[in-house]
Amino acid sequence: MTAALDTLSDALAAESRHLAALLELLEEEGQVLRRGEAVSLAAITDRKEAWIRDRAALEDTRRQALSLVARALHIDLSAVTLTDLARREPAQAGRLLARRDELRRLTSRLSALVQHNGFLIERSLRYFRGFVSSLVGAVAHPATYTASGRHDVQAAAVGLIDRRG
């Protein structure tokens, strides 16, 4: 049992470090959003994508460690919680509860940041869409039809050309 709990504890520690990296990333994203730096935002999104890819391996490790614990305790995998494990294994309680509290702190902070950044992203995106559609509406050439009945697209008449060209 102790070995299974050691494996689980190591997996959760690795996961905490990984979540802490995300936390830094989201804080950085918050600053970028506040400054409206679209290029930096795209770079952060790329880094989040890499974070998600790494995440899959960590989740597998955690699931395997939890399965070992569940089998040792003869309980269902979905019923395993760190609070319950600490109660069942008092000798390991200190270590398990420390892991639980660390994860709780990280997820709470991450949840707040995701919500906050999400709010800024969604509102900005909505404003962008409205702005761009207004612009396109203002500069778009009215639909015309040729003698063949086809839509005649006059690129030059759209007007949005670089005057320096």
Partner 1 sequence: MSLFSGFEIGRKALAAHQAVLDTVGHNLANVATRGYARQRAELVAVAPRNGVEVAQIRRLRDRFLDVQLIQEGGGLGRAQAQVNLLQRLESIFTEDPEAGLGATLSRFFRAFQDLSVHPTDPALRVTVKEAGAQVAATFRDLRGGLDVLKADLVTEIESRVSAANGLVTEIAELNRRIVAARGGGLEPSDLLDRRDLLVAQLSEIAGVAASDNENGSVRVTIAGTGVRLLDGDLVSTLTVALDGSTNTVRLQVDDEVVAPQSGALAALVGARNSPTGPISQAASDLDALARSIIDEVNRLHASGAGLTGHATLTAANAVSSSTVALTAAGLPSSPLTGAFRIVVHDSAGSVASTVDVSVTAGVTTLEDVRSAIDADPNLTATISAGILTVSAASGMTYAFASDTSDTLLALGLNTFFTGTDALTIGESPLVAGDVAKIAAARVDSTGLVHRGDGENALALARLRTKPTLRGGTATFVDFLGTLVSRVGSEARDATQALDRQEAAVELVENLQQQTSGVSTDEELLTLTQAQHAYAAAARYISTLNDVIDSLFQITR
> Where in 71-100 is the site for partner 1 (CB under 8 A)?
78, 80-83, 100
Rule CB under 8 A: is residue 133 a binding residue for partner 1? no
> How far is the C-alpha of 37 from the C-alpha of 121, rounded, in Å?
12
Rule CB under 8 A: is residue 17 a binding residue for partner 1? no
With 0-12 CB in 10 A as exposed, 13-18 as middle and 19+ as buried, what is 102?
middle
> How far is the C-alpha of 110 from the C-alpha of 106, rounded, in Å?
6
Task: Please name the residues in contact with 51: beta carbons below 8 A apart, sequence gap of 6 or more.
Answer: 18, 21, 22, 25
Count of residues interacting with partner 1 (CB under 8 A): 57
- Could you tell me the smallest distance in angstroms from the CB atom of residue 74 to partner 1? 18
Rule CB under 8 A: is residue 141 a binding residue for partner 1? no
Tokens 């936390």, located at residue:
23
The binder of partner 1 chosen from 94, 119, 141, 157 (CB under 8 A): 119
Closest by CA position to 7, among listed 93, 66, 72, 94: 66
Nearer to partner 1, 35 or 152 (CB): 35
The binder of partner 1 chosen from 2, 6, 17, 42 (CB under 8 A): 42
Nearer to partner 1, 2 or 111 (CB): 111
Both tokens of residue 165? 């060209």
- Could you tell me the smallest distance in angstroms from the CB atom of residue 153 to partner 1? 17
